[in-house]
Amino acid sequence: MPRYTIYSPGGNITALVNMEAGVNLPAMARQIMAGNRAVEQVGFLAAPKLPGTDFHLEMMGGEFCGNAARCAAVHVSGQKNKTELSFTVSGFDLPVSARVVGREAVLLLPGQFLRQVTEVRDGWLVDFEGIRFLVVDKSLPPASAKRLIESYRGGYPAFGIVASTGQGNSLRIDPLVWVESTQTLTPETACASGSLAAAVVRRLKDPQADSYLVIQPSGCTYQVGLIGQAGIIDKLVLSGEISVVE
């Protein structure tokens, strides 16, 4: 079993591993998750892929993950003694940035991360780079969730269903995430990208707000900011506390 560090970004327990050449990432991720049932996902830290960046994060299924990105920023911040970091994440070609202050990690994503939003019969499809979400207005039983996954996941490496409730700029989410390569469907205790998806849909319904408090299943709260004007989102921001589990 490889050595790894476990973080909790307000839930969504994440294991981070140093990536080694020739390793089957999905197989290793399944091994780690089988050995520690609390772990919901595994990310692999690698050398920078782009000039001027600090590192690359490769997720277990090649997907994008906002919470793992924030955990990785905290991890590397401690190693490099830097509070401002630029890095790449699987599923997205452009660099992202993070600011780490104490236990809080703020993730900043360029507007290109959001590809499109489409209203469908069962809710709203929010297409990010590296992951797609279906935002619905109520929690679904497993049988219904599996049907929707098959109907809407397309060719994305990961697909999530996010039940979003609440009023105004206060939201509560209940996320399920399917990762194709590991064949895992996880009811996540917290979800960064799912929080962004819920906020994007809420802004479409009520364009007056541009910042949101999103309560996770764990009870923790994320702060989401959608920066831009006239319906165009130029930057997506997500922040919250992160702790080391082991």
| Shared-domain flag, residues 137 and 87 | no
Residues 94 and 141 in one domain: no
Q: Tell me how far apart the alpha carbons of residues 88 and 104 are, in angstroms, rounded to a whole number.
A: 20
Domain-ending residue, one of 85, 110, 135: 110
Q: How many domains does the chain have?
A: 2
Classify residue 150: in a domain, yes or no: yes
205 plus 118 within the same structural domain: yes
Q: Which pair of tokens denotes residue 16?
A: 């981070």
Cα pseudo-dihedral 51, 53, 58, 59, rounded to 10: -140
Range of the domain at 83: 5-110
- pLDDT of the chain, 246 residues: tens digit per residue: 778 999 999 999 999 999 988 889 999 999 999 999 999 999 999 999 999 999 999 999 999 999 999 999 999 999 999 999 999 999 999 999 999 998 899 999 999 999 999 999 999 999 999 999 999 998 888 788 889 999 999 999 999 999 999 988 999 999 999 999 989 899 999 999 999 999 999 999 888 888 999 999 999 999 999 998 757 899 999 999 999 997
Are 127 and 200 within one domain?
A: yes
Helix axes 192-205, 66-80, angle to 10 degrees: 130
* Nearest to 195, CA basis, from 131, 152, 242, 148: 131
- Do 95 and 165 sit in the same domain of this protein? no
The pTM is what? 0.94
Please tell me whether residues 90 and 121 are part of one structural domain.
no
Instruction: Answer yes or no: are the C-beta atoms of 85 and 100 closer than 8 Å.
Output: yes
Are residue 172 and residue 74 in the same domain, yes or no? no
Whether residue 59 lies inside any domain: the answer is yes
Give the CATH number of the domain where residue 123 resides.
3.10.310.10
